[in-house]
Amino acid sequence: MDCNCVSDLLLTPPVPALWTPGFAFPDWAYKPESSPGSRQIQLWHFILELLQKEEYQGVIAWQGDYGEFVIKDPDEVARLWGIRKCKPHMNYDKLSRALRYYYNKRILHKTKGKRFTYKFNFSKVVLVNYPLLDMASSPFLLAQNHFNGGAATPDCSPVTPEALQSLFPRLPDSGRGTSLFDRGAGAPGPEGDKLRLDTFPFLGSGTPCYSKPPSMLGPYPRNPAFDYSWGFNPYLPGAFSLNNCPKLPPGSLYPSHFYPNPLQSGLSQLPHPFSSLLPPGDTAGAERGQSGGTTNGSAGSQPPRLCIPPYPGSLLQGRTELGNLVPGLGERERGEANNNVLGSGGGGGIGMGLGLGLGLGGLGLGTGGGGRQSPSDRRGGVKQDPESDSELEITDLSDCSSENENEPDFPLAKEPRLGGRPHVLEAKTGGLAGTLPPLSSLPPPVSPHPLKSLVPLTPPPPSLPPSLSPSLTLVDRHRETDSLKLAHS
């Protein structure tokens, strides 16, 4: 409280009246402000956040295996983290300690032999946020799950970041530079929503395939298992089903209050996946282009949200599995218990998929103008120049109470040492590579996964671009993971 960090501000979403705490991260993963105790963003969220922002590609980026990322600039990451947490004395050593802290939780593990390289266990990450998700139901997760032969290796049974990104995709044009600390601006205007609706007839204002989250329908216990702060609740009937879609009033498909995102400064910045369909120039935030991000994100409008009704085509046409799942929700427990889901692939739901495969891979980064403006770019600057940080918007620590630390000063603009540490993957990142975790390393498809038949192959609506064909992407990705799996064996 004493720390009026940017993060604090950002983590305080304009919670609409309809908002209930029902949709939030599990407690251990994220404490919304309303909840007692720590409300700070967690490190791994922050990491994901950074990874997601194109402007931080120079600092941290996906690299190597699925889920693997490299901290290209440890000091910078630490600095950003320190800023976020109002810990001026944060450094990589401490940060890495905190990362190590995740090993036990199996959210992260270290890629041995590669400095500054860690790997997300996306299965865990997903589970954390979608604890009820039956891994057996997701081709991605399933394939990934087989990765380790179902063994309970503490190591990776990672869901591909790709899969994760299908859930929480990084906006291909994230180059518009919503800053990590800019939460408000660039909210998808009505235009954007409209467009999306237009693009997806099934989402059309006339027939919004959305149903109210349980929390909206009535009170339910605040069970972490029900928390979906990333905005998309796979367990919502409307999420997966084309049927039984209670209609919302026109225009209410993306009501900001419907899926307000508590992770305001974090994953909430994840854009609507469909926004990648927006024609260039349309998007609300497009104006930012090269400005290198916003200066302050209080546009007053709603923050960008992730309201993802997964693409229905990739879902079972029926509601069945979910229908079966949902009633059992209450019995599920939280946290680690959900790890079981990983191994308990067995009989579970079938082919309900995650509604992923939005074909992001086919979309250009379109990050439009300006090229990216990695914070590390300023490494060419001078250390003593406090201004050099201003372009980051993150660096304003004036709000940071220095009660904790008697020394108020952050190591402001760090000494740019572009040549200092090895900058991995600097060249390769032409466009999309920076946005998506590397897929290129994957071997070519080998053979269809036997379970492929479980994947709904419903053809996409005609209006859908080919790249969005879920049947294609799903299968393809399935193959990818499959072949990857083979490669590992």
φ, ψ for residue 307, nearest 5 deg: -120, 90
Question: Quick one: tokens of 291?
Answer: 């400005």
Of 46 and 311, which CB lies nearer to DNA in the complex structure? 46
Of 395 and 473, which CB lies nearer to DNA in the complex structure? 395
Of 257 and 421, which CB lies nearer to DNA in the complex structure? 421
Of 263 and 307, which CB lies nearer to DNA in the complex structure? 263
Interaction site with DNA (CB under 7 A): 27-29, 37-38, 40, 42-44, 74, 81-82, 85, 87, 89-90, 92-98, 100-103, 105, 110, 112, 114-117, 404-405, 421
* CA–CA distance, 314 with 312 (Å, rounded to integer): 5
> Cα–Cα distances in Å, from 152 out to 106, 108, 133, 413?
11, 15, 18, 44
Q: How near is the Cβ of 269 to DNA at its closest, in Å?
A: 18
Q: How near is the Cβ of 114 to DNA at its closest, in Å?
A: 6
Of 94 and 247, which CB lies nearer to DNA in the complex structure? 94
Q: How near is the Cβ of 405 to DNA at its closest, in Å?
A: 6
Of 83 and 455, which CB lies nearer to DNA in the complex structure? 83
* CA–CA distance, 234 with 18 (Å, rounded to integer): 20
Of 28 and 202, which CB lies nearer to DNA in the complex structure? 28
Q: How near is the Cβ of 130 to DNA at its closest, in Å?
A: 16
Q: How near is the Cβ of 337 to DNA at its closest, in Å?
A: 14
> Cα–Cα distances in Å, from 219 out to 35, 122, 228?
17, 30, 16
Q: How near is the Cβ of 71 to DNA at its closest, in Å?
A: 8
Q: How near is the Cβ of 81 to DNA at its closest, in Å?
A: 6
